[in-house]
Amino acid sequence: MMKIENFKIFKGQHCETNAIGNLFVNIGINLSEPMIFGLASGLGYIFWNMKIMDFPFMGGRTKPDEITTNICKILNLKLNRSETSSVKTAWEIVKKQIEHSVPVGLKLDSYHLDYFTNKIHFAGHYATIYGYDEKYAYLVDTIQQGSSVKTSLGNLALARNEKGPMSSKNLSFTIEKTGKLPDVRDIIPQAIICNARDFLNPPIKNIGYKGIEKTGKEIFKWFETSKNISNDFTLQAMLMERAGTGGALFRNIYRDFLHESFTITQNKKIGTARDHYIEIAKMWTKVSGLFNQVGETKDIEYVKQASVLLRSIADKEKTAMEILEKI
């Protein structure tokens, strides 16, 4: 068995920030998960529907890999990324790092991981590997998935090499310090303004606040064309609320980032926006609750209520981000 000695476990709710947090604490960087997410300008929204998908993807953050890139850039850290189409080479890269006591972030399709109970293909999942033996890889995943977990080496290879939306070619990454870290007080405004501008100026209408507006319209089409309303809507509700895709989870994290930032900076506009996101997060939880009711009853009335609520959320998030853009 090969395990990194004195490996420290970071416990987070969202997969990519959780992986970053695990790499951070093992190089002596101690930031909260909300601070990692916020400094990475991580809040976003996308409504994505393709014919090959069973139901639409509702994402509440920036696109996969971007949080890792952004946090390393703003903290002046060195990000070492590796991609290869060779399963064998990909594993050798990871083994070499662990043998040098360096934990490695992995991008995976959660479908293949032994410890995942909801078996759906999602190739934008992240975990940290810190050890292996002849049969298993030892990982740290989110709190919801059990934090300290293991999966068979064969299934890990399948998860790393899966094709499809959001997948990468056996992506692994490590993070290194290159010097003194900047003071978070100095970079918080920069990160917030960058996030606000991106959210308020989406390149297409299914991203940012416009994407939330569009979702309010598109869920009627989804309801009408769904082959399994019960499964699709209840599963979407779970993904939004707890599994790290869209909805309340990211709004809760960003609310906590704004609270931490207000405590540090005492900037009143940050405090005002935090108060907005307290309410916005609750509204997203109501949306997931309505989706659950759609799944249980197959009644379009709950779709109508969710639609009205989503349009209201879009307005409120736009207002909050307009405040943050001017900090």
Could you read off the pLDDT tens digit of each residue along the chain, which spans 327 residues? 999 999 999 999 999 999 999 999 999 999 999 999 999 999 999 998 877 777 888 999 998 999 999 999 999 999 999 999 999 999 999 999 999 999 999 999 999 999 998 888 889 999 999 999 999 999 999 999 999 999 999 999 999 999 988 899 999 999 999 999 999 999 999 999 999 999 999 999 999 999 999 999 999 999 999 999 999 999 898 888 766 556 688 999 999 999 999 999 999 999 999 999 999 999 999 999 999 999 999 999 999 999 999 999 999 999 999 999 999
- The pLDDT assigned to 246 comes to 61
Report the DSSP pairing between strands 172-177 and 104-108: antiparallel
Regarding whether 17 and 107 lie in a shared domain, the answer is yes
- The pLDDT assigned to 73 comes to 98
DSSP 157-200: HHHHH--STT--SS-EEEEEE-SPPPPHHHHHHHHHHHHHHHHH
Domain boundary among 157, 177, 197: 177
**Strand ranges (E), the chain:** 2-3, 43-48, 57-61, 77-82, 104-108, 125-132, 136-140, 148-152, 172-177
Contact 260, 208 (CB under 8 A): no
For residue 318, being part of any structural domain is answered with yes
Regarding whether 18 and 163 lie in a shared domain, the answer is yes
In Å, how far from its chain's centre is CA 110?
Answer: 13
Regarding whether 319 and 198 lie in a shared domain, the answer is yes
Segments forming the whole domain that contains residue 173: 2-30+77-177
**How many domains is the chain partitioned into structurally?**
2
- The pLDDT assigned to 245 comes to 57
Regarding whether 212 and 126 lie in a shared domain, the answer is no
- The pLDDT assigned to 240 comes to 81
Regarding whether 319 and 279 lie in a shared domain, the answer is yes
Regarding whether 147 and 189 lie in a shared domain, the answer is no
Regarding whether 215 and 100 lie in a shared domain, the answer is no
Q: What is the CATH number of the domain that holds 165?
A: 3.90.70.30
Regarding whether 222 and 132 lie in a shared domain, the answer is no
For residue 39, being part of any structural domain is answered with no
For residue 55, being part of any structural domain is answered with no
